[in-house]
Amino acid sequence: MTTATAGATPATAGPGGGHARAGSSVLDLPWVRFALRRAGGLVLALALLVTVTFLIVPLIPGDPARAIAGSSATPQAIATIRADLGLDRPLPQRFVEYVSGLARGDLGTSFRYRVPVSDVVTARLPYTVQLAVPAIALVLVLAIPLGMAVGVLTRGGRRRRLDVAFGVVAGTVAAVPPYVMGTLLVVVFAIGLKLLPPGGAQTQASLVLPILALSLGPACAVARVVRADTSSVLEQEFLRTARARRLPAGRLYLRHALPNLLTSVLTLTGLVLTSLLGGTVVIENVFSYPGLGTEIVQAIVSKDYPVIQGIILCVGCLALLVNLLVDVVLGIVDPRTLTGGHHGG
């Protein structure tokens, strides 16, 4: 008499071992659920971005056809230009054509330059990246060490004056709008001290003030959060025990304190970096820098709808990509976030 089924399937390792339990599907794996959730979110976000951009941009005051034809043009000439630009077709038809073009990788044709919008974007995008990437790096390099250092020095109510001074200075700098920060930097370092060029993109030195204007505010905002979280983490029992064992300072703070700060810091950093991408639009115009920000302002003035839409889509996709990368890093640092919270699924 058979006592066991020969073909019985043994239980597999649980989620911690990287395998699903017997009878479970691949959809039960945290990373698979995370990928599906994020993919669905990205599709919805892109659809919303495309729709809102298409509907809002034509609300900009003015007529693109009249802007191209000039103030002395006849109504017949303006009508001809409107037909040539496709603006005489019904809005739903234009939207379908626009989405169909996007599906083929076609962002449309610039009203002003009469070249593909993708050419305009690719010509200006490297300049914006040249500002944004160093600014992002500077935010992280300044904010995390500074916030941790102040948090360590002021833990448990120590050095109250330093804590207050840091809060006031960092809060003030973080509250300064980018265009005001850029103007102040130009007045002090370009006009007053004559140490750096006031704008343009002729030399590497021209990048210093725009990068500082982009990064100082976000760096102070992130540093304040890091300081608060550092103070909180240092009061936890496991770190008190580590200090009682007189572990070396580097091991104590880098191996024990920093990993416990990463979840909140990365979450805030994703939000800050998204706003920083938008800040490049303002900063590039303050410093006459030839990036996407300067181009979109010129496009708004000339009513160049396809270029405006193309740049908004480009910046929006970059923001979505930044947030996706932050979510992936969060999933690696703290797997509990893969389930959409701090509790496993």
Residue type, 57: V
Residue 63 counted as domain residue: no
Q: Model confidence over 275-334: pLDDT tens digits?
A: 888 888 889 999 989 999 999 999 999 999 999 999 999 999 988 888 888 888 877 777
Residue 191: predicted pLDDT: 93
Token readout for 250 is 């580097």
Residues shown for the chain: 345
Residue 155: predicted pLDDT: 78
Q: Do residues 234 and 149 make contact, with C-beta atoms less than 8 angstroms apart?
A: no
Q: pTM here?
A: 0.79
Residue 18: predicted pLDDT: 47
The low-confidence residues of the chain, meaning pLDDT below 70, are 1-28, 237-240, 242-245, 247-258, 337-345
Q: Do residues 101 and 117 make contact, with C-beta atoms less than 8 angstroms apart?
A: no
Rounded Cα distance, 55 and 16, in Å: 47
Q: Model confidence over 112-154: pLDDT tens digits?
A: 999 999 999 999 999 999 999 899 899 989 998 899 889 888 8
* Average pLDDT in the chain: 83
Closest CA to 228 of 123, 146, 110: 146
How many alpha carbons fall within 13 Å on the CB side of residue 11?
5
Closest CA to 206 of 197, 215, 193: 197
Q: Do residues 107 and 306 make contact, with C-beta atoms less than 8 angstroms apart?
A: yes
Rounded Cα distance, 230 and 235, in Å: 9
Q: In whole angstroms, what separates CA 109 from the centre of its chain?
A: 27
Q: Do residues 20 and 28 make contact, with C-beta atoms less than 8 angstroms apart?
A: yes
Residue 290: predicted pLDDT: 92
**Residue 198 phi, psi dihedral angles, 5° rounding:** -80, -10
Counted domains in the chain: 1
Residue 148 counted as domain residue: yes
Residue 305 counted as domain residue: yes
Rounded Cα distance, 147 and 150, in Å: 5
Rounded Cα distance, 276 and 221, in Å: 12
The single-letter DSSP state of residue 344 is -
Residue 201 counted as domain residue: yes
Rounded Cα distance, 246 and 325, in Å: 37
Residue 99 counted as domain residue: no
Residue 12: predicted pLDDT: 46
Q: Which residues pair with 109 in a beta bridge?
A: 116
Residue 272 counted as domain residue: yes
Residue 161: predicted pLDDT: 93
Which range of residues forms the domain containing residue 237? 117-339
Q: Which CATH number fits the domain that encloses residue 190?
A: 1.10.3720.10
Sign of the C-alpha dihedral computed for residues 79, 84, 86 and 89 taken in this order = positive
Residue 95: predicted pLDDT: 95
How many alpha carbons fall within 13 Å on the CB side of residue 215?
19
Rounded Cα distance, 123 and 290, in Å: 9
Closest CA to 326 of 310, 337, 315: 337
Residue 27 counted as domain residue: no
Residue 17 counted as domain residue: no
Residue 308: predicted pLDDT: 96
Residue type, 124: R
